Amino acid sequence: MKIKTILALLPLFIAGAGHAEKADREKATNVEANQMAYDEIKQVNTFTGNVVLTRGTLVMHAEKMVVVQDAAGYQFATLTAPRGGMTTFRQKRDGGPDLWMEAQAGDRIEYDGKNEVAKLYSRARIRLLEGKKVTDEVEGDFISYDSKTEYYTVNNTTSGESKPGAGRIRATIQPRLESRAK
């Protein structure tokens, strides 16, 4: 019974990112994996082996997912990529019939439910789509997204700070001509 409670409390990953579909918040969270371990005393739930989390339109893939709950009930999730692969998620966005958000990271994705901040580490990318067409995209070795303030930072190192010579970040932002005409 406790495991169900923890999964039900698992916040929408990047809940406000790109205006995630609000209806997903009321859906059950389902997790499939090769193995699960739950430490009730420490409030730590660990899923390993081809982890797939679904909640409404939200679908996440990782090799490992660890969810920790603090004494106040806030949850912190870490999704780890498989060796040589990526940890990913995809979720429908509000605002239209076929709007999506996709994200991936080569090392891990961390979500702080208390502060509503997601951090993507190593070969990180977030894409906004209309159907299959990419409208906006950001890439870097580190992306932090604060869903309360809808504020992104993209840096060229996984430490979360940019350093000269460490590489470049990249952003593609499409014009919003249709919205100007209205």
pLDDT score for 5: 30
Is the Cβ–Cβ distance between 122 and 158 less than 8 Å? yes
Is the Cβ–Cβ distance between 152 and 160 less than 8 Å? no
Our count of domains for the chain comes to 1
d(CA 61, CA 142): 19
The model's confidence at residue 1, banded by pLDDT at 50, 70 and 90, is very low
Average pLDDT of the chain is: 82
The model's confidence at residue 24, banded by pLDDT at 50, 70 and 90, is low
CATH number at residue 132: 2.60.450.10
Does residue 147 register a pLDDT over 50? yes
Range of the domain at 112: 2-181
Q: Which of 2-11, 115-124, 153-162, 172-181 has the lowest mean pLDDT?
A: 2-11
